[in-house]
Structure 1
């Protein structure tokens, strides 16, 4: 697909950090302040919340060098996840993404520039947060970002 013809209705696929709209990914370096700590990436915050019952673990994850380390830490401690994780994970992701796009004006501008277009995390590595690579996945991250986009638009509309 050529990147020269961006129709206002065509979906935006993002995943690769160096690719188009790579800034939308959770591994993108955009520090956020949330819950009294600074998080290097959305990924750090998201993975740490799997252990929200243990403030030492949460702080530990916030200080890991890379988002991959945060992902791996959660993966390695999979047996210790909070009991309600499956119910709360969508809300946690929304909260983290909301912070990212509220706290970084240039990213907010980029998100709003997508208009009404469908946002799709495009990778075969994930069929919950992404599209599974073939569209069979739930694309929950893309859906979350579209909700953030709407929330920011509503907010701007009411405050100007």
Structure 2
């Protein structure tokens, strides 16, 4: 039971940053993959590009020289976001992470090595993908990683 204003830190969870280029399980890691008839330099590139229906906008994001630049392009409101983005964004993140794990066995091994631990995206500012400053966020990135982990485990058993 928490005695303070915020929930206790879950000591059994694995906290990670999706924007750390050195974090194998993050979206910024330089583990490219082939998906939707294109090579993608990172999960971040793919995810940000899928926000747009325009091929020109998608290609500009895909060609960004760093995942941070891809994120900036994806967050720009100069281009119109696809109308269904809020409904499909988690699907695109899942597809990208799963494909990355299938393309890079060391990434899949690291994810599987987390065992049954709860995975948490430790963002202070993101309450959708991360846990937020007060650890009350939705942690959808952690949930996607855990779902991909379950799928990889299921495939390994068959």
Same fold (TM over 0.5): yes
In the superposition, the TM-score normalised over structure 1's length comes to: 0.86
Structure 2 match to 1:10: 12
**2: distance between equivalents of 1:65 and 1:148?**
27
In structure 2, the residue matched to 1:43 is 44
User: Could you tell me how far apart the structure 1 residues matched to 2:13 and 2:138 are?
Assistant: 15
* Inter-partner Cα distance in structure 1 for 2:141 and 2:156: 22
Deviation at 1:55, TM superposition (A): 1.6
Listed as ranges, the gaps of 5+ residues in structure 2 are: 1-10
Which digits, 9 at most, give the CA deviation of each residue in 1:49-108, with x for residues without a partner? Answer: 001x22222122111101111111121136600000000001111000101111100011
Match of 2:74 in 1: 74
Is 1:90 matched up with 2:93?
A: no
Q: Aligned pairs, how many?
A: 147
1:32 equivalent in structure 2:
33
C-alpha separation between the residues in 2 aligned to 1:131 and 1:49?
A: 24
CA pair 18-93 structure 1, distance change in 2 beyond 3 A: closer
For residues 104 and 148 of structure 2, the distance between their equivalents in structure 1, rounded to whole angstroms, comes to 13
TM-score (norm 2): 0.87
Q: CA RMSD in A?
A: 1.6
The aligned counterpart of 1:115 is 115
Could you tell me how far apart the structure 1 residues matched to 2:44 and 2:20 are?
13
Deviations 1:3-42 (A, max 9, x none): xxxxxx81000016277xx221111111111111111110
Please identify runs of 4+ aligned residues in structure 1 that moved more than 3 A.
none
Distance 1:134 1:29 in 2: 30
